[in-house]
A = this chain, B = another copy of it.
Amino acid sequence: MAVWGERLAGVRGVLLDISGVLYDSGEGGGVPIAGSVDAVARLKRSQLKVRFCTNESQKSRGELVALLRRLGFDISQEEVTAPAPATCQILKERGLRPHLLIHDGVRSEFDQIDKSSPNCVVMADAGESFSYQNMNKAFQILMELENPVLISLGKGRYYKETSGLMLDVGAYVKALEYACGIEAEVVGKPSPEFFKSALQALGVEAHQAIMIGDDIVGDIGGAQRCGMRALQVRTGKFRPSDEHHPEVKADGYVDNLAEAVDLLLQHADK
């Protein structure tokens, strides 16, 4: 189809979202999305450069990669852009000492960070740890700071687990923003800085790169605002209404990563 030839012409690098594109998380770690293990392998055998760009903030990169390898994916830690390491960089640069409202699974990423006398709050997808008590503690710390700083790893509305849709960190960010009368700084998609760091690691220009994700706002809208192209997969948190989103229109919609890779291998870099 000529239309795909035009849409994918000149693509030299691919950024892949992980949750909802490679696999659905859930009980026992999760399950690969049909065709995605093979699709990643085919992509990596091609001339296209590949990098993974995730807002995963419940697990450390090490744990995430170990899980994906168990599920059969060819992936290594160095190929992953994730918000926790990017946040540690910011904390160090600005002399910030965080109170952490995070999942235990990602705590090890902050091992080297000074957490005494907190002067900011860092929040991530804490899952079950988003108890009233933990939220209230973070709220009270922010209210006691003269210049409250709230850093959030992503601001997703929800994601999909095998058991259904799950509230993501963005909902809880909105709660603290409203209660404290402040605005959070977001590290992760759709922040342009985050996409740019992934592009730099990928080693291609924005106009030569394409993002493949299941989040119409965080993945598709965010990548497009950075000058990249973006395809939305109809897996993960995709909902049919996404194809009529009032603000964001993907460069293409595909049933899953396998179809996206079929099209890329046929049309990209031509």
**Residues in A lying within 8 Å of B, measured CB to CB:** 126-133, 135-136, 139-140, 143, 157-158, 164-168, 170-172, 174-181
Contacts and interface: CB of A to CB of B under 8 A. Distances in A.
Contacts of A166: 136
> What does DSSP make chain A's interface, helix, strand, loop or mixed?
helix
A140 B171 CA distance: 13
27 contacts: A126-B132, A127-B132, A128-B132, A129-B132, A130-B132, A130-B135, A131-B132, A135-B167, A139-B158, A139-B165, A139-B167, A139-B171, A140-B164, A143-B165, A157-B180, A157-B181, A158-B179, A167-B179, A168-B179, A170-B178, A171-B178, A172-B175, A174-B174, A174-B175, A174-B177, A174-B178, A175-B175
Number of copies of this chain that the complex holds: 2
A123 to B, nearest CB: 12
Nearest to A170: B178
Contact of A167 (B132, B164, B171, B181): B132
A99 to B, nearest CB: 15
A159 B32 CA distance: 45
Contact of A128 (B133, B140, B167, B175): B133
A159 to B, nearest CB: 11
Most buried by B among A157, A166, A171: A171
A136 B167 contact: yes
Given A132-B129, A135-B130, A165-B143, A170 B179 contact: yes
A144 B133 CA distance: 28
A177 B181 CA distance: 17
